Structure 1
Amino acid sequence: MAAVNKPAEDGSSFSSKVINIVFVTLLLDLLGFTLILPLLPSILDHYAQTGDGVYQSLQSVVDWFREAVGIPMEKKYNTVLFGGLIGSLFSLLQFLSSPVTGALSDRHGRRPMLLLTTLGLVCSYAIWAVSRSFGMFLLFRVIGGICKGNVSLCTAIVADLPCPKARNRGMAMIGVAFSLGFTVGPLMGAYFALGSRATGIVFYQTPALLALAFSVADLLFVWAAMPETLTKDAKASSSSGFGDPGDLLNPLSLFHFSAVIRTRDPPPRERMQKLQALGLVYFCYLFLFSGLEFTLSFLTHQRFNFTSMQQGKMFFFIGVIMASIQGGYARRIKPGQHIRAVRVAIMSLVPAFVLIGLSWNVTMLYVGLALYSFAAAIVVPCLSTLVSDHGTANQKGTVMGILRSLGALARALGPVASSSVYWIAGAQVCFLLTAASFIIPLVLLRRARSLKEE
């Protein structure tokens, strides 16, 4: 069992060990999380056919929104929209829980909170495995959304590392874990669902049991291998309470990082201004990016009549490019070059979404997707590295938890806003308008770069 409260050693061997453990931890977590992604349309169809009462109640809400924005009454669009709204619920729960999880890790340590959140995920997957109603399925998603603190905790663990180069490499490896998880996990989910159908059991039960197995393995791995990276001195200097709970739940307070300001050792004003600017860049980028990510499924259905298999191949293409860039270029970005890398990546999204929005053939679509994948591989890891430089040792969990919360809020709101524009004004207007809107995070990024720190 790994020793708790082990001080973070300065040696590169300890940093490399932590990064490798974080990579395996997140990969196991994300493999379990992404197994459901290709199954969600079939799961929704399954509960629609059974006449489940909870499903029918929520369907009326989806129908109201569909009629309000003019989405055609077609099964494939209804499924994408219903799934997107469930995804927004999941993101809203992460928005609420991530800052609290991060603040608790500043008080009690990263390892105990990681064990607790992973145990919560084990319980959620167990509920999914035995669920036979849509109400139980929603309970599984709610518990999972509340307990999905592994990402913010792992970024806080990497932020604890003393060497800037190690932190940069760690954030890039977190990105690689995401890319691999979102590439391999859905394929595994689809494969084992087919196997379940062949044996005559409910098609999602084998993937659910596999997700449970991944989460149990993750729990055991964290318990056996994960060291405590928050030092005893940092714990001792941490505030004895949360202060104002609104600092961790109020969106305006989160944008201002108020929970970091109202501590015994607040950062200098100039550093807080830069942190706030980076938080705004992160939110604006993910708001625009997640909205287009969601409407991409509408576009490929509507314009190219993509089947589920073609959709899967498209996301596999995206995942392979992202993993290649994160494993090669992103982790070698030198300290001081991250803002420049983010600027180049966001600028590449302008032609990416113009090409996707105007695409009249699949080749043009995939050229746009290649640029899209490049930006997706760079922006979040680099912004996470920049933000991890802010805050004292006993504030890293709070800082990274707030950043994760802002991202979850963006992912909850972005798909609703973009799908509304898509169906009211059309695909081309939606993609071109969003491409032009990336000027907003670019201006904010320029402001963040111009701020001088003490």
Structure 2
Amino acid sequence: MGKEKEKKNSRLDPTAWIIFSSLIIDLVGFTVILPLMPKLLDHYSSTGGSSMSFLESTVKTLQQMLNIPVNFNSVMTGGVLGSLFSILQFLASPLAGCLSDCYGRKPALLLSMVGIASSYALWLVSDSFAVFMIARAVGGVSKANVSLATAVMADITDSTNRAKAMALIGVAFAIGFIVGPVTGAAFSAWGVSSISAGNWWFWPAMFSLTLAILNIGYIACFFTESLPLDKRAKSPQFSQTWNLVNPVSLFKFQLAADGIPNNDLVKLRILGRVYFMFLFLYSGLEYTLTFLTHLRFNYNAAQQGKMLLFIGILMALFQGGLVRRVKPGKEKVIALIGLGVIIPSFVIVGLSNSATVLYFGLALYSLGSATVIPCLTAMTAAHGRADQKGAVIGTLRSLGALARALGPLISSFGTSY
């Protein structure tokens, strides 16, 4: 009888599956661009333009100062763009979390999704590099929906099923990384052979825009607010705006520190540091991987798509078969296993000189990425009151965005050597 009750309590609220579906739609659209990025930068470099020329001249100056080979300039340029996107996400995530604590998750989610759709609309018409940069900037500012989705999962779960809910977010990421890059590669191959190859990115951008619009309608119609009025914050914490952008305050979880016991606050800060360091290293490899294989193995968009498909399938298997079955209180053990395998994966991928070695390193990389993030997020979401979940998760996601802002930039310089 006790086991049946425990099993019933561990079942996820239907809202979790709505969020899961919405994340898949969002992440498929978001990851379409990944295998296209090296080719997009090559295109804008060949067509020129003042914005691209300025960025390339800045990169060239750094290349000369640091004695970096010229053929790695595209890696460095990609790192700069990746950092731009993530630094804006870093600024936006905790703000969106705080607003959602006061006004509800649904309005904040819809506002974020409208911004994401706008970024794809700008990409659709980005005949110049300047417009493309604006599109990426709008996307970075608007990309708070994952943070908000995590806060929703924290709203509707407890210690018996929180790890399962966070693993569901990880599975959504894995599916996104399976479908999105393969779709982007297919669009790229089709666009190159089409008559309108001059603006070959039009159809992948249109595909992402269509998914974003469908996602807005889906959430508007089917998502029920997860944060009741009586559990919301009385007002947005605009008086603590500095805490939203100050890394020192973020590492201290200053925005959510009020009312949290000191012992829990210490645990939160430790989790925040581990989360930051993991994503700093992880995002560096994640963002430069397509550039590395493009330069070292001469991979085209189709081969990039296959590689990302391999990573996505393994992540889905690990998260669906391992993380979703984690028992309450065992998240730390699984996270430690993930941290233990991610380090050798970086070394193997970095030193790989054949596809076999590369894919072995990517298998370890997939295991680490599939386990660490959902387990750390579940452990973090256990702290704080209901009206603080948005601030707690928003701060964690912001630390992750800060790590993602620095990781690609530092890694692109490291890769260049």
Shorter-chain TM-score tier: over 0.9
Structure 2 residue corresponding to 1:30, chosen from 19, 27, 43: 27
- Equivalent residue letter for 2:213: V
Q: CA deviation at 1:363?
A: 2.2
Which stretch of the first structure deviates more once superposed, 219-228 or 27-36?
A: 27-36
User: What displacement does 1:177 show?
Assistant: 0.8
Residue 3 of structure 2 is matched in structure 1 by none
- Is the partner of 2:13 in helix, strand or coil? helix
Q: 1:72 aligns with which of 57, 69, 73?
A: 69
- Correspondence for 1:128: 123
Find 1:225's aligned residue among 219, 222, 226: 222
Written as runs of structure 1 = structure 2, the 5 A alignment for 1:358-369 is 358-369=351-362
Secondary structure of residue in 2 paired with 1:248? helix
Once the 2 structures are TM-superposed, how far is the Cα of residue 72 of structure 1 from its aligned partner?
1.6
Structure 1 residue 302, shift from structure 2 partner: 5.3
Preserved CA contact (<8 Å) 2:35 2:304: no
* 1:348 matches 2:372: no
The match for 1:255 is 251
> TM-score of the superposition, structure 1-length normalised?
0.85
1:86 to 48, 69, 81: 81
Relative distance call for 1:120 and 1:14 in structure 2 (3 A) is farther
Quote how far apart the aligned CAs of 1:307 are.
4.0
Distance in 2 (CA, whole Å) between partners of 1:128 and 1:156 is: 29
- 2:398 maps to 1:416: no
1:131 counterpart letter in structure 2:
S
For residue 154 of structure 2, the aligned residue among 148, 155, 159 is 159
Does structure 2 retain, via aligned residues, the 8 Å contact 1:80–1:297?
no
Partner of 2:241: 245
Give the letter aligned to residue 202 of structure 2.
Answer: Q
Report deviation, 1:361. 3.5
- In the alignment, what sits opposite 1:173? 168
Question: What is the TM-score when the length of structure 2 is the normalising length?
Answer: 0.92
For 1:86 and 1:244, how far apart are their aligned partners in 2? Answer: 29
The answer to whether residue 271 in structure 2 is matched with residue 274 in structure 1 is no
Instruction: State the 1:78 CA deviation.
Output: 2.6
- Aligned equivalent of 1:63: 60
Structure 1 gap segments, 5+ residues each: 1-10, 425-454
Query: CA–CA distance in 2 between the matches of 1:12 and 1:223?
Result: 28
Mapped partners of 2:236, 2:378: distance in 1: 27
Residues 376-387 of structure 1: pairs in structure 2 closer than 5 A: 376-387=369-380
* Correspondence for 1:192: 187
CA deviation profile, 1:263-308 (whole Å, cap 9, x unmatched): 4xx1000000000100000001111222233444455455544444
In the superposition, relative to structure 1, how do residues 298 and 209 fare at CA in structure 2: closer, same or farther (>3 Å)? closer
Distance 1:325 1:380 in 2: 13
CA distance in 2, matches of 1:99, 1:346: 26
Greater Cα shift, 36-45 or 271-280? 36-45
8 Å contact kept, 1:238–1:394: no
Query: Quick one: distance in 2 between partners of 1:359 and 1:139?
Result: 36
Report the CA distance shift for 1:149/1:295 in structure 2 as closer, same or farther (over 3 A). Answer: closer
Q: What is the Cα deviation at residue 13 of structure 1?
A: 10
- Match of 2:240, SS state, is coil
Match among 138, 144, 150 for residue 143 of structure 1: 138
Q: Is the 8 A contact 1:70 1:423 kept in 2?
A: no
1:404 aligned onto 2:391: no
The answer to whether structure 1 residue 203 and structure 2 residue 194 are counterparts is no
SS of alignment partner, residue 171 of structure 2: helix
Q: Secondary structure at the match of 1:228?
A: coil
Matches of 1:124 and 1:269 in 2, distance apart? 41
| 2:5 counterpart residue number | none
* 1:370-399 CA distance string (max 9 Å, x none): 111100100001111111111100011111
In 2, Cα distance between equivalents of 1:369 and 1:123: 33
Distance 1:292 1:136 in 2: 27
Q: Does 1:96 align with 2:91?
A: yes
The amino acid of 1:115's aligned partner reads L
